[in-house]
């Protein structure tokens, strides 16, 4: 462990010596920190120049593409699209108006049909009422006819039975009065 501590101490001394070291380059005296800052500055400048070159190159490509662009053709195409859109809007409005008219017509027809159904229903009710009344009258007449016919039949049969009874009684009386006569 003692060797490690001594090694670390030596490294620290060399780093301290390196900080204080001065290097002369192209007649300019610099420290290692100044040299690092100079490299960073040069790198930034070169990176900025490269980025500017790429942007300029993209700009020139875009400019070339835009210069080849046919503005009149695009304008004509836009006009055609606008015309078609206007026609589609007008057609849609016509459809909407037609549908509205159709719906109103159907509603009127439905109202007429409802009125006709109500009137027919009332007529059927009246016919049924009259038929019931007629059937009741007919039934009453038939009942009356039946009652009178039954009464006549009863009267007639009672009269015939009475006559028959009288004849039988008369014959019986004759037979009883004169048993040898017949």
Three-class DSSP category at 41? helix
Domain boundaries, the chain: 1-69
pLDDT of residue 171: 85
Give the Cα-Cα-Cα angle 74, 78, 82 (nearest 5 degrees): 170
Q: What is the pTM of this model?
A: 0.38
pLDDT in tens, 71-84: 777 888 899 999 99
pLDDT digits (tens, 9 = 90+) for 124-169: 999 999 999 999 998 889 899 888 888 888 888 888 888 888 888 8
Write the CA distances from 151 to 3, 139, 155, integer angstroms: 158, 18, 6
Which of the two residues, 125 and 3, has the higher pLDDT score? 125
Cα 135 to Cα 129, 143, 149: the distances in Å are 10, 12, 20
Residue 101's pLDDT is what? 92
């Amino acid at each position: 462990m003692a060797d490690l501590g001594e090694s670390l101490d030596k490294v620290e001394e060399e780093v301290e010596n390196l900080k204080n070291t001065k290097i002369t380059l192209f007649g300019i005296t610099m420290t290692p920190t100044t040299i690092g800052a100079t490299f960073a500055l040069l790198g930034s400048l070169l990176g900025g120049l490269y980025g500017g070159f790429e942007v300029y190159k993209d700009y020139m490509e875009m400019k070339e593409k835009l210069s080849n662009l046919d503005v009149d053709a695009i304008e004509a195409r836009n006009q055609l699209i606008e015309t078609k859109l206007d026609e589609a809007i007008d057609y849609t409005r016509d459809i909407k108006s037609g549908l509205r008219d159709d719906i109103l017509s159907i509603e009127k027809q439905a109202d007429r049909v409802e009125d006709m159904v109500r009137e027919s229903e009332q007529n059927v009710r009246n016919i049924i009422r009259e038929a019931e009344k007629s059937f009741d009258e007919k039934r009453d007449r038939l009942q009356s006819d039946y009652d009178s016919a039954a009464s006549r039949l009863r009267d007639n049969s009672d009269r015939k039975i009475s006559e028959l009874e009288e004849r039988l009684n008369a014959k019986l009386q004759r037979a009883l009065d004169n048993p040898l006569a017949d």
